[in-house]
């Protein structure tokens, strides 16, 4: 499902114009991204959590040059679905 599909679905179900729904969806995504950039997690009860994970420093290998490199500690965005959401998907996806 794409962003356009989500906009169409919400517009159809609510009767709100597509352009308004599109602006709302984009504003929501910008809010989530902005919060994660600031290091703040976003919790949506019954859906899941957008969280910032910390990756520890590690040693990696460049096979083509046969050298080791150090990948520094860094942060990545992640999504953790709610237990009720996971249960619904497990029981309904075929």
| Amino acid 10: pLDDT | 96
Over the stretch 2-35, which tens digit does the pLDDT of each residue have?
999 999 999 999 999 999 999 999 999 999 999 9
Q: Is the dihedral of CA 60, 41, 2, 19 positive or negative?
A: negative
| Amino acid 58: pLDDT | 94
- Give the pLDDT band (50/70/90) at residue 92: confident
Q: Which residues, other chains included, contact 41 with Cβ-Cβ below 8 Å and sequence gap of 6+? A: 35, 49, 50, 51, 52
Query: Mean pLDDT, the chain, as a whole number?
Result: 94
Q: State the pTM of this model.
A: 0.79
The domains found in the chain, sorted by start residue, are: 3-92 (4.10.520.10)
| Amino acid 20: pLDDT | 97
């Amino acid at each position: 499902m794409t962003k356009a599909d989500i906009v169409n679905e919400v517009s159809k179900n609510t009767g709100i114009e597509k352009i308004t729904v599109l602006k709302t969806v984009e504003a929501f995504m910008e809010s989530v991204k902005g919060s994660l950039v600031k290091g703040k997690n976003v919790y949506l009860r019954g859906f899941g959590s957008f969280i910032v994970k910390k990756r520890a420093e590690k040693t990696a290998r460049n096979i083509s040059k046969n050298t080791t490199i150090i990948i520094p500690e860094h942060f990545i965005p992640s999504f953790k679905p709610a237990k009720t959401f996971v249960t619904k998907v497990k029981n309904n996806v075929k």
